[in-house]
Structures are given as structure tokens and as C-alpha cells.
Amino acid sequence: MAKLGTVASINQTGAGIRLPNFCNLGVMLRSLLIVNLLLVAAAAIRSPSVGGIWLEFLVFAAFGEPVLMLSLVALCAARRWLHAMGYVGALAALAAFEILVGWFVYGAAGALVPERSPMPFGQVMFLVFFVTAVTLAYFDLRTRALSPAIAEARIQALQARIRPHFLYNSINAVLSLIRSEPRRAERALEDLADLFRVLMADNRTLVPIANEVELARQYLALESLRLGERLKVTWRIETMPADALVPPLVLQPLVENAVYHGIEPSEAGGEIEIDIARAGGQLAMVLKNPFPGGGRHSSGNRMAIVNIRERLQLHFDVEASMRSEVKEGTYTVTIRIPYITQPG
Amino acid sequence: MLLSSDVPRILIADDESPARVRLRDLLDECRESFPLAIADEARNGREVLDVLNREKIDIVLLDIRMPEIDGMEAARHIAGMAEPPAIIFTTAFDSYAIKAFEVNAIDYLLKPIRVERLLMALGKTRAAPPVSRQALDAASNLPRRHLSVHERGKIILVPVADVLYLRAELKYVTVRTAEREHLVEESLTHLEEEFADAFVRIHRNCLVARTAIAGFERNAEESESGWAVVIKGTGEKLPVSRRQHSIVKQFR
């Protein structure tokens, strides 16, 4: 997956915003569905009887599926060039390419299945052209429909990030240090500043996981100022690929949740465990914290989870997953996203 | 110079050590215009009640969000005391509590606390009556985890989870646990509302913990409905009234 370059199911800049990412599983599935639905429709029109639709569809599919598969593979491989052309240029290139593929497959099919009376070449080309146009139009519309959601996701990210509870308690903790331990107070204010620098930044593009880990560490340093020995953290990230790209603020809100729901309600405190590792073509993040139960402060929890899930979906469509479960007094949240790195 | 027994004795309650340090610093600054003594510190609601059982406290600076027994629940227990200390709530941010406090006219301080605001709140404790139990109950969105029994000026906490049943008699409600009985000055109706999830009414004067129901017995004496609830562990039989008869079906 790493070679395939860019990332999101929707690109958020320039021409990219209107062209889907053909490497994304969600885009592939959607293309498959649309093309096949159109083939069914075409079969229904051509078939003289209801019973004949199936046979007619098989003929279309024998031609259509190879075209589709070849197109998807080629478009996935060529997407960086397509993006460089701009939307109109990319459309023209795409149309030319589809006709080429259509012509090739038409020829190959004619050679392989000669006894089947073939449709006239012009009709086949029209079909290829029409199906391509409808599919692209669908993705264009979908992107337009989702683009407010992208803007929204940014705002949501802002909101999900930091609980006011944390901000004011941290400032309070720093205030308490100023007289007795000015050095530690300085250090804490620096951490707070770094944290907020990231929070205030434009958070639409993916960032290396190493940055997210650093952010979570600074956040935890501030929390341990308040919570002292009640907060224990274990990091298991030795095998983490530091260059893996993730949506910004995917880790810190989860860690904050763990502190808020797992550590603070307990007198004795507890341990937060964070595992990040590469698993084949995926990056897996697993976060565990004690779950004191009682559900006394549970309303904020779902918010952050929903928010992260939405942003993962916007960035990776169906290729990302997020699961959370409570088992034997431990809350575990697992995020899996495609392992991708900065292209070039 | 005033004797230390003449000045208000203050208890600082917060689970975060830096927050307690900060309050100490601020209270030291208040001393000049408002003589006071810092009597003790507590890290959760239970420690607050322990301190109150041990020594005389005039003012509690009470953080709302604390582990185990939070500030809100501690305050509700404190309000049942014969001579309760004044309570000044503190919170960094708790949108629910703040809204509820505004509605019920309960004073609170927002962290980080300014010394001027703290002085004002300390001054107010001289004149204003203590926050009423009713206002605190109305401001709480969660049921208490304990019932408080006030015996000889001490607060004894009975975990709600340990209660088998609650029975109203004249002025009091009897709280039955596996070990013993306690008397609390509360209304059965209020208890029923607060603990609707955990208790079920079987009679005009009786609420039984759902987990304490061992079974039902027929032809029980002095039972209008002819049914009685058998209590787990103690084996006591409590009559089910005709109006509550439906619960027999519900549980069987």
C-alpha cells in the first residue's frame, strides 16, 4: 500500500477534490456497483424478455468487467499524473483511455467469442463512454456533497481535541507551581503552548504518527502534573513506523478520554497502555485503560469516539476501522488504518 | 491577635495535589483581611466526611469532580448534619454542574480561582445560610452512592449497593442491610425517585432492592395481595400490597 502514494478517499486540494482516489477500496467498490447497475439496465433494455436479462447481462459483464478492472488498476497507478493535469485535462485523458481500453477488450472479446453476434462497435463505445461519464459524475457529486463535511470535520476536530476541563485544570496546576517550582511551571507552559500550536493548526492533511505520539506525550506530561502517581503510562511503540501518516489528533483525544474516564474517577489511579505497530499493510493503534464502571461520566466519551470515527471515514472511507470494547474492567479501543507514507 | 479557635477553620478538598497547593497559597493571601485557619486537606468525598467526623470545620472548599464520592454527593451528606459547615464549591469546568448551580442559586468558584473571588466567597459564608439539602438534591443529576446516617453528630455512610430494603415508619426510614438497621431522615418518595433503577416499590411503605429479591411466597400473613417478597440472605418476608401486585408477575 505504501507505494500507492496519496491517501484520502477524497483529496482536499485542487483538481484532486473532484477526482476520486481510485486506489481506495471504498471508491473501487462504489465503481463496481455503479458500473454493474448500469450494465443490468442496459441488459434489461436489450433483452426481449424478462428471462433473457440474465443472459444479456452476462454478455455485457464479460465485456464490462475486464474494462472496469483494467481501468481501476491503471487509474490507481496513474493517479498522480492525472492530478497533475487538472480536472478537465484528467477527464479528457480518462475518456481517451477508456475508449482505448474499450476498443482493446472489444477486439479481444470478438476474437475469443466469435459466434456471439457482437454489438456494433459504435454502440459499445457509446456504452463505455456513457458508463464512465456517469461514474465520474457520481464521484464528483459525492465529493461536493461531502465537502461541507470536510470543513465541518476540521471544526469538529477543533472541538474534539481538548476538554475545557483539562485546559483550566492544567492552568490551575501551573499556577500552583509558579511560586514553589518555577522551572517545572516553565516546562509545563511550554508543553501547553506546543499542544495548542497543534490544536490551532490547519488539521486537514495527514501527519506522521511520530508527531501524534509526541503530542500525546506532552499532553500526558501535563496530566501527570495534576494527577501525580495516579497516572501510569506504558508505551509499546518500538516497532512503530514513525513515518506512517495518520489523521491529526487521532491519538491525543483517545488518550485524553483514557485519563478522564479511566484514571481520574479512581482514587488509586491506573495504567494506560498504548501499542502502535505495523500489521502488514495496516497501522494498528491499540489503547487500553481501566474502566472503573458505574458510567458516571460517560457522555463525553461517545462524542470523541464518534468524531474520530467520522474523520477516519472521511480520510480512508471503508479502509479504516475503529473498535472499542469493555472487557473485565478494561476499556480497549483499536484503530486500524492503511499504512501509508509521504509520497516521494 | 485572635486565638486560632476564634477564626473559621477551613478544609480544602480536591483530588489534585497542585490544586490543593494553589488553594493554600490563596488562603494565605486572604489571611490578612479574613483571619482563618487551614485545618485539614481531603482528596475525595469520603475523606471530607472523615475529617468532619473528627474535627470542627467551619468552611469546606469542595471540588465537585473527585473520585469515589464526588463533591456533589459529599455536600448532600454534609447538608444533613445538625450544624453543617459552609460549603464553597470549586470546579474547573463542568457545564452540567454550573448550569444546575445557577438554577438553584448555589455559589461556586471557577478554577483557576482569583484571590478576590475567594475572599468574597469566604465573606459570604458569615452571613448567608448554608446551602439547603433541597437545592443540592435538585442540582444533582446522579443518584448518591451512599445514604448518610447521622448518629451522635457523626456521619455514617451506608453504600446504597448494600441496602436490602427501605421501610418508612412515622418520621424515619429504616435502612436494612445484611448486617443491621439504620434510621435516616428522608422521604420514601424522594428515595424512590432517586434510586428508581435499583429499587422497586412493593408496598406504600416499602422499597426493595431489585438485587435483594430472592423470590415470592404465597399466602403470606398480613398481606393484602396474598404475596410476600422473600429477602435474600436474611429470609425476611415483606408483604406486597394489592396495588403493587403486578411486580410479582414482573419478577417471576
Strand partners, B216: B229
- List the beta strands (DSSP E) in chain A: 207-208, 231-236, 245-246, 270-279, 282-290, 321-327, 330-338
Asked if residue A239 and residue A139 are part of one domain, the reply reads: no
* Predicted ipTM > 0.90: no
Among the residue ranges A147-156, A326-335, B203-212, the one predicted with the least confidence is A147-156
Asked if residue A112 and residue A227 are part of one domain, the reply reads: no
Asked if residue A290 and residue A177 are part of one domain, the reply reads: yes
User: Alpha-carbon distance A49 to B21, whole Å?
Assistant: 86
User: Alpha-carbon distance B178 to B200, whole Å?
Assistant: 18
Asked if residue A171 and residue A258 are part of one domain, the reply reads: yes
- All residues of chain A having their beta carbon less than 8 Å from the beta carbon of residue B92 are 164-165, 168-169, 172
Asked if residue A184 and residue A79 are part of one domain, the reply reads: no
- CATH class, range B9-139: alpha beta
- All residues of chain B having their beta carbon less than 8 Å from the beta carbon of residue A168 are 92-93, 110-112
Among the residue ranges A184-188, A316-320, B2-6, the one predicted with the least confidence is B2-6
* Region A59-78 average pLDDT: 85
Among the residue ranges A117-121, A174-178, A282-286, B42-46, the one predicted with the least confidence is A117-121
- Which CATH number is A224's domain given? 3.30.565.10
- All residues of chain B having their beta carbon less than 8 Å from the beta carbon of residue A264 are 15, 65, 67
Which one of A176, A225, A297 has the shortest CB-CB distance to B22? A176
Asked if residue A135 and residue A101 are part of one domain, the reply reads: yes
Asked if residue A313 and residue A192 are part of one domain, the reply reads: yes
For A274-324, what is each residue's pLDDT tens digit?
A: 999 999 899 999 999 998 865 444 455 567 787 788 888 888 888 899 999
Mean pLDDT (chain A, rounded): 82
- CATH class, range B146-251: mainly beta
Asked if residue A199 and residue A132 are part of one domain, the reply reads: no
Which one of A164, A228, A265 has the shortest CB-CB distance to B17? A228
Whether A331 shows a pLDDT value over 90: the answer reads yes
Whether A200 shows a pLDDT value over 80: the answer reads no
Whether A166 shows a pLDDT value over 70: the answer reads yes
**Cα dihedral sign, A183-A186-A190-A191:** positive
- All residues of chain A having their beta carbon less than 8 Å from the beta carbon of residue B160 are none
Residue A343 lies inside a defined structural domain of this protein: no
Domain boundary among A93, A120, A155: A155
User: Alpha-carbon distance A228 to A176, whole Å?
Assistant: 14
Asked if residue A145 and residue A43 are part of one domain, the reply reads: yes
Q: In which element (H, E) is residue A137 found?
A: helix A121-161
For B74-122, what is each residue's pLDDT tens digit?
A: 999 999 898 899 999 999 987 788 888 888 888 899 999 999 999 999 9
Residue A224 lies inside a defined structural domain of this protein: yes
Whether B247 shows a pLDDT value over 60: the answer reads yes
> Is B197 in the A-facing interface, judged by CB distances under 8 Å?
no
* Region A232-237 average pLDDT: 96
Instruction: Count structural domains, chain A.
Output: 2
Domain boundary among A103, A130, A155: A155
> Is A117 in the B-facing interface, judged by CB distances under 8 Å?
no
Mean pLDDT (chain B, rounded): 90
Q: Which of A16-25, A114-123, A298-307 has the highest mean pLDDT?
A: A16-25
- Nearest chain A CA: its distance from B170 CA (Å): 33
- Asked if B108 contacts B90 with a C-beta cutoff of 8 angstroms, the reply is yes
Q: How many contacts, defined by CB atoms under 8 Å, are there between A and B? A: 61
Domain boundary among A99, A132, A155: A155
Residue A41 lies inside a defined structural domain of this protein: yes
Q: Give the angle A270-A275-A279 at the CA atoms, nearest 5°.
A: 160
Range of the domain at A45: 2-155
